[in-house]
Structure 1
Amino acid sequence: MDGSTTPAVRGDLPWDASYPAGLDWRTPVPERPLHSLVDEACAAFPHHPCLDFYGRRTTYRQVARLIDRAARGLQDRGVGKGCKVALLLPNCPYSVIAFHAILKAGGTVVNLNPLAPAAELAHQIDDSETELLVTLDLVPFRDKLAQIGWPGRLRAVVVARMADALPFPKNWLYPLLKRRDVARFPEDERHVPFRRLLANRGDPRPVAVEPRADAAVLQYTGGTTGVPKGTVLTHAGLYANTMQCRRWFTGADPGRERVLAVLPFFHVFGMTGVMNFALALGAELILLPRVDVREILDTVQRKRPTIFSGVPRLFQAIVGFPRLSRYDLSSLRLCVSGGDSLPPLLLERFQKLTGAYLAEGYGLTEASPVVTCNPFDGLNKPGSAGPPLPGTMVEIVSLDDRCTPQPQGRVGEICVSGPQVMAGYWKDAAATAEAMAGGHLHTGDIGFLDEDGYLHIVDRLKDLIVAGGQHVYPRAVEAVIKRHPLIADAAVVGEPDPVRGQTIRAFVVPQPGSTLSEAELRAFLADRLSRFEQPQRIEFRTALPTSTIGKILKRDLIPERPPEKPGSDDREISRPATR
């Protein structure tokens, strides 16, 4: 199947008048197998570099060839349509090659976070019905697998050698200089070297993929306030969202861009917004397997990337780096912030220091993930998440009945429809029905559309605090607390109260060396927050628990929080307007 989806919309849309010049929201979105991204890029840019991993550069033709060989190797080991294959990998060439090889073999990718607890990974492997798993020959991955065991249907582990991904002479030196980091795996039928997977002519058997019906990825939600759910993302949905992002980057030059890949590909933001977006653009992916600010700055200066996506905490770490002026960051042109709130002052500072254009948007796992983004050619509104991407409908419904449409400027629950929306939650029909009630995705986020059709995020529906009958938005309170010059970070949550329903509790992190007292902070908040917004309890912490991409894990602050509702807590690119 190779069709397209045309949005069926009548009349004017709130964002029509402010949409970027040259872009038509109503342009049909193609429906194709997700792995066709590599074939299309290889046909257009066969000799252009595709991957750069610590100096080892691989062209699109070479990557396409490796994918074909890996796909055939997987098929020879029983991978076919619907077979689940998990990836337990950092950003490296294997994470790109194995991802698209699984899809080409007919399988479904199950993305696993290597930093997740072993019990959570074991549950996901079992729940997803994963049969094969791909990982690296490094001690942390071997130890994690030893803790996980062999849950469910898991029958084999494919082990890739880190040394084989490195250029000469690093590939020779790595096993010697890093021998304590290199893990030995048993030599048996349960452990398959990645090299053996590639030992064929590269002629995978064709698989008839139905883009709308077939799952490409089973992506477990972040679960920042509850148990992660498996989100079924189809070939059509992921391909559509990738192409929506490519259209949105109006200033990008196909075949000539270099994308710095720091966000992990096992996360939906990094998977679509970095890896697959770069492949759709024919760009070179500069791969970094970990987040290290010094290494990122060194890489920008040496490798000269032009596009960079990150989270606010990463951008904050960059602008606050002690010797930032020593680095030349002028190659950066187009940047995207996601995963959490981006304060306007941080946006302004980053753009001033680098000369790059920094856009902010909004998304969630269930939307593959990108929903809205500030345009690269048009009005960039600090405090907003921008208008919807082409073919994406955003509606605001009443918080009371979750179905009555709200006018522009009125706060309500954000609902999304479009070709990138999930097929549903894996083996959870009840959660799927609740999340998709009314024929659109209920995001569980609170926000509004302004006069230009730009989306503003106010808060998470499940984080809303009702204290004495008054609605309190935690992010609004957090934003005020962070205005204090001696506060580095803050999180606000609601606690059960027999009289008021809920009370407000604030967790704050002072700046290093600060002697700020609770009385001084309360005095600062006294005339900046209303009476019902004032925290009843303030607790000082040295740090707040965060997820892989830097979102605060409020469930770890108060573990007894109530169960989550659909959709998930994996909000990829969001910023509350009140910050």
Structure 2
Amino acid sequence: MIPRAYPPDIAWDMPLPRETLTEVLEATVAAHGEKPALEFMGRSWRYAELGDMVARVAAGLRALGVAPGDRVGLCLPNTHFFVAAYFGVLKAGAVVVNFSPLMVAEEMAAQVADSGTSVMLTLDLKPLLPRVLEVLDNGGPLKRVVVCRFAEGLPAVKSVMFRLVRRASIAAIPHDPRITEFAALLKAAPITDPPMTTPEGLAVLQYTGGTTGRPKGVMLSHANLCANLRQLQAWCAEPRRTQERMLAVIPFFHVFAMTVAMNLAIAIGAEIVMQPRYEKKLVLAALRRRHPTMLPGVPTLFKALLDHGATREDLAQVRACISGGAPLPIALKHEFEAKSGAALVEGYGLTEASPVCFCNPLRGENREGTIGLPLPLVEAEIRSLEDPARAMPMGERGELCVRGPNVMSGYRNRPAETAATMTPDGWLRTGDVGIMDADGYVALVDRIKDLILVSGFNVYPRAIEEVLYTHPDVAAATVVGIPDSRQGESPAAFVELKPGAVPDEAALRAFLKLHLSAIQMPKLIEFREALPRTAVGKLSKKELREEIRTRLRENA
């Protein structure tokens, strides 16, 4: 059913081309070869140059023995190496497995073993390369490592300075037949063969964050990922006389950035202005150097831009600020829009859906407190928490379920978990509790696993977090449930204050009492200099839950 408030200029039932990600890149190279494709710290590559690099990387990987269907790991930050390697792997017919550069060796080895990754691309930086080499020596599936020299991706002067000033951060590359340099791949003659896979073929094994157990490999096909970028293209489309510029601060190894900041950008021929991580001076310099028009991010990124001095002039060219990866606090939305002059819209997705399913319209009503409307071809239902087969009436609370061409085929080697997450007719159970209104907008209440049962009543951490964010001294906040001998569970709030603010629990409790019921009031409030965050920068509850469990065991 098409939502009543669907934007009139977007066809919900739009046709989808049958294509692979490699074909998407090749079409852009053919149409926009002389346009800027990538920018990194002042160095640029045109689309024609990117296309040539990708074809050479594919040939180089094939020369190393990579065959169609093989798993190739990318353990890289946002650099031209990532983009060339990603599409080079796919052009060779192999499967990309994304690894966070922040992983410790043990985590990396577990994902290598689960995915069957045989080749890994990484950087010559400490401690990253030593960790990858440790996994290489473990005797598992990983048989070869390709090393990219970070300095070779910088402009000439910065490259020389990096080698001189940052020598201590560069890891030595051992003389080992199992190790190849990225530069050697580029010496291969470009592949000119037809695609080595089909739209239905596996493109990416994207591992979930593992917040509720072992990370699972989500199987995303070329068709899944291409569908999502075309859905987003339709949602974001707006005629422009100049080239779009995508500021890519969120990391490509995360599914949100992979699709929105990289794949979508390439599909529309945008220039991708890459940042290896969030660093205040470098991000502000990139804003002022390239004046991006599109800015995807997580709420903590938009908060950091405000706190670190991004001005209305810096963001003047931005037409699309899309927040995902975590709930967008309404207070932050108001503050960002007031100070930047740019509209900030909240979207929603999950790894299992490539990932984007919902977004507030860029042209139309940006309905606060909601994740917006479903993207084209995405069906959405709110289903009973007690009986997942029963759809709930409009306006009632239940589990958000989605179905569409962007939804995964399943988890690798996890049939039981696949069956628990996907219905036989293709509906994906998101695990998020939501309410759909008569216009089709969905407001998320919380994650099912995050619900706190206080004396038998459901307490939603997000409701408490929204109130905390309205306090003028609060920079970030997260709420989890803790055991309570009397009530079963109680909320615990962890708070990060703005610079210069003084912790005052009594004052904060007095403020909360004006807005929260007795069962919502946190039993515990702790102030932290910094709250734990995931690799993409969103607040993480996992570490706090584990810390509380450890504390309770020690005090037992």
Is TM (by shorter chain) over 0.5?
A: yes
Paired letter, 1:352: A
Name the CA distance, whole Å, in 1 between partners of 2:390 and 2:343: 37
Name the CA distance, whole Å, in 2 between partners of 1:108 and 1:141: 22
Name the CA distance, whole Å, in 1 between partners of 2:527 and 2:62: 54
Q: CA deviation at 1:441?
A: 0.5
Structure 1 unaligned residues grouped into runs of 5+: 1-11, 563-579
SS in 1 for 2:73: strand
Contact 1:466 1:501 in 2 (8 A): yes
1:350 aligns with 2:340: no
Q: Which moved more, 1:323-332 or 1:426-435?
A: 323-332
1:223 aligns with 2:214: no
What whole-Å deviation, never above 9, does each CA across 1:325-345 have from its counterpart, x for those lacking one?
596331222211112222233
Q: Percent identity?
A: 44
Q: Which moved more, 1:128-137 or 1:550-559?
A: 550-559
Q: CA deviation at 1:178?
A: 3.0
Contact 2:312 2:339 in 1 (8 A): no
Contact 1:477 1:492 in 2 (8 A): yes
Name the CA distance, whole Å, in 1 between partners of 2:383 and 2:548: 25
Q: Which moved more, 1:391-400 or 1:31-40?
A: 31-40
1:509-524 alignment runs, 5 A limit: 509-524=496-511
Q: Which moved more, 1:345-354 or 1:260-269?
A: 345-354
Q: CA deviation at 1:492?
A: 1.6
1:397-412 alignment runs, 5 A limit: 397-412=383-398
Paired letter, 1:110: V
Name the CA distance, whole Å, in 1 between partners of 2:266 and 2:241: 10
Paired letter, 2:121: V
Name the CA distance, whole Å, in 2 between partners of 1:192 and 1:431: 37
Of the candidates 422, 427, 440, which is equivalent to residue 413 of structure 2? 427
SS in 1 for 2:28: helix
Q: What is aligned with 2:552?
A: none
Q: What is aligned with 2:158?
A: 170
Q: What is aligned with 1:5?
A: none
Q: Which moved more, 1:220-229 or 1:456-465?
A: 220-229
Name the CA distance, whole Å, in 2 between partners of 1:283 and 1:482: 34
Name the CA distance, whole Å, in 1 between partners of 2:523 and 2:105: 37
Of the candidates 449, 455, 458, which is equivalent to residue 445 of structure 2? 458
The two structures have a TM-score, normalised by structure 1, of 0.90
Per the alignment, do residues 278 and 334 of structure 1 end up closer, same or farther by CA in structure 2, a change over 3 Å counting? same
Q: Which moved more, 1:29-38 or 1:264-273?
A: 29-38
Paired letter, 1:302: R
1:337 aligns with 2:353: no
Q: What is aligned with 2:403?
A: 417
What whole-Å deviation, never above 9, does each CA across 1:184-214 have from its counterpart, x for those lacking one?
21122110011111222202544442322x2
Name the CA distance, whole Å, in 2 between partners of 1:487 and 1:255: 39
The two structures have a TM-score, normalised by structure 2, of 0.94
1:534-573 alignment runs, 5 A limit: 534-559=521-546
Per the alignment, do residues 170 and 523 of structure 1 end up closer, same or farther by CA in structure 2, a change over 3 Å counting? closer
Paired letter, 1:478: E
SS in 1 for 2:37: strand
Name the CA distance, whole Å, in 2 between partners of 1:370 and 1:155: 34
1:139 aligns with 2:130: no
Paired letter, 1:154: L
Paired letter, 1:359: V
Contact 2:473 2:497 in 1 (8 A): yes
Paired letter, 1:165: G
1:132-531 alignment runs, 5 A limit: 132-151=119-138, 152-212=140-200, 214-251=201-238, 253=240, 256-321=243-308, 323-325=309-311, 328-439=314-425, 440-531=427-518
Name the CA distance, whole Å, in 2 between partners of 1:286 and 1:462: 36
Paired letter, 2:256: F
Paired letter, 1:293: K
Contact 1:105 1:204 in 2 (8 A): no
Contact 1:224 1:547 in 2 (8 A): no
Contact 2:136 2:144 in 1 (8 A): no
Per the alignment, do residues 421 and 252 of structure 1 end up closer, same or farther by CA in structure 2, a change over 3 Å counting? farther
Q: CA deviation at 1:552?
A: 2.2
Name the CA distance, whole Å, in 1 between partners of 2:142 and 2:241: 40
Contact 2:329 2:469 in 1 (8 A): no
Structure 2 unaligned residues grouped into runs of 5+: 550-556
Q: Which moved more, 1:463-472 or 1:328-337?
A: 328-337
